[in-house]
Structure 1
Amino acid sequence: MRESELEGFRDLLTDVMAYYGKDCSEFMLTVWWEALHSFEMEQISSSLRRHATDPDRGRFAPRVADIIKVLQGTTTDRAALAWGKVLGAMSSVGAYTDVVFDDPAIHAAIEDLGGWPKVCRTETAELSYLQHRFQEAHRAYTERGQFEYMRRLPGDRSPDHEYLSHGLKLPRPALVGAREKAIAVLQNGNAGGKTLISSLPAHAMHLLANATGQELQA
């Protein structure tokens, strides 16, 4: 959550505690905020509803540890779904094409694993181990909430400067997942990281934003 969402979070927690006939003190708000601010408001709201409708736990007011337990399960599920996107793109996009996923945590996790070409060239026998490492990293980044990530994952192609020095446009990256979210990942990420890459020039960003049919549904 962002700082601007604090009041909305206060209202949500106050309503939940009122449902159980309890007050929401400033101390309670501070503890809950510090414990949950790395998650998204929608995730927290959904987890509170799940707690309230649980036949056993729902009879009692939630403690922050109860909701964290539910949220950790949520991030595990998201990591598994993210791996499905990566696995699909490994075969449909391949190591030679730049790729932009619709989830920044995927970018951060893949960079930790050595980059897009290395991930694509993983031997079949090693995929299970790669999946475990990816999902652990993805879950950690998701729980952290804020982190730096590459705006695009570079494929094993000629460097950007070779295109630009010949007056050629950079090849468009493949968009994986929801197109609008993938473009947001591209626009909000950085051009650095463990492997330095140059940012897309303005004309390439314009072409990408107006491209149609470029996204891939993994």
Structure 2
Amino acid sequence: MQTDQLDDFIALLTDVMAYYGKHTSSFMIDVWWGACQKFDYEQVAKAMQHHATDPDRGQFAPKVADIIRVLDGTTTDRAALAWGKVLDVMSRVGAYTDVVFDDPAIHAAVEDLGGWPKVCRTELKELSFLQHRFQEAHRAYTGRGQFDYPRRLAGDRSPDHDYERRGLPLPAPAVVGDQKRAALVYQGGGGTGKSNIHFVSLQVLGNGLLASPVRRLEAA
């Protein structure tokens, strides 16, 4: 959830607790927000409803652990759905086209797997292993909440500067899923999704002077 959804979240939590005859407090809201912020508002609302209708646990007011238990299952389902979306686009769009999904965790996970062209060219016998790696990465990023990711998954085409040098517009990417959410993904991206690598001397490393690297390499 984004910070601007805090009021909606407080209203949701207040309504849920009122259903059980409970009151909310500032401390309670802080604890719940800290635990649930990494999930989508819609996911949290559905998890609250799931708890309320649970024959065993639903007779008691939900604790944070109850909702997180439900949401952890939700992230597994979401990862499976995300893989299905990726698999579909791999066959329909292919390795040569830039792609912007409506889920930043897809961008981060695909980048971890070597990038869009490499994923698209995975041999059929390797798809099961690729699916496992993708879903593990997707769940990890979804659980983290905030992370760096590339704003688009670059296809196997000429680099941007070739188009700019010739005065040509960049090829239009394939936008997958909800266009408004995909636009937000594009606007919020920018990092490579990979860890920066720094080369420093042993003396600098030993002295803790990492603010003065000898040479720095950032994954492109």
> TM-score, with normalisation over the residues of structure 1?
0.83
Runs of 4+ in 1 over 4 A off after TM superposition: none
Which moved further from structure 2: 73-82 or 166-175? 166-175
Report the alpha carbon displacement of residue 118 of structure 1 after superposing the two structures with TM. Answer: 0.8
> What does residue 30 of structure 2 align with?
30
> What does residue 87 of structure 2 align with?
87
Matches within 5 A, 1:52-131: 52-131=52-131
The superposition leaves residues 143-182 of structure 1 with CA deviations (integer Å, 9 ceiling, x where unpaired) of 2222221111111111111121112221111122223332
Question: Partners of 2:183 and 2:22 in 1: how far apart?
Answer: 44
Higher CA-based Rg: 2
Report the alpha carbon displacement of residue 11 of structure 1 after superposing the two structures with TM. Answer: 2.6
Q: Is the 8 A contact 2:98 2:154 kept in 1?
A: yes
DSSP-derived class of the 1:175 partner: strand
Question: Partners of 1:57 and 1:69 in 2: how far apart?
Answer: 12
Report the alpha carbon displacement of residue 120 of structure 1 after superposing the two structures with TM. Answer: 0.8
For the pair 1:12 / 2:24, whether they are aligned, the reply is: no
> What does residue 161 of structure 1 align with?
161
Write the letter of the residue equivalent to 1:184.
L
> TM-score, with normalisation over the residues of structure 2?
0.82
Structure with the bigger RCO (C-alpha within 8 Å, sep 6+) is: 1
Identity %: 69
Which moved further from structure 2: 185-194 or 151-160? 185-194
Q: Is the 8 A contact 2:148 2:191 kept in 1?
A: no
DSSP-derived class of the 1:122 partner: coil
The superposition leaves residues 102-157 of structure 1 with CA deviations (integer Å, 9 ceiling, x where unpaired) of 21111011011110011111111111111011111111212222222111111111
Report the alpha carbon displacement of residue 192 of structure 1 after superposing the two structures with TM. Answer: 4.0
Question: Partners of 2:176 and 2:121 in 1: how far apart?
Answer: 18
DSSP-derived class of the 2:114 partner: coil
DSSP-derived class of the 1:57 partner: coil
Q: Which runs of 5+ in 2 are unaligned?
A: 195-218
**In the superposition, relative to structure 1, how do residues 3 and 97 fare at CA in structure 2: closer, same or farther (>3 Å)?**
closer
Aligned residue pairs total 196
Q: Which runs of 5+ in 1 are unaligned?
A: 197-218
**In the superposition, relative to structure 1, how do residues 171 and 4 fare at CA in structure 2: closer, same or farther (>3 Å)?**
closer
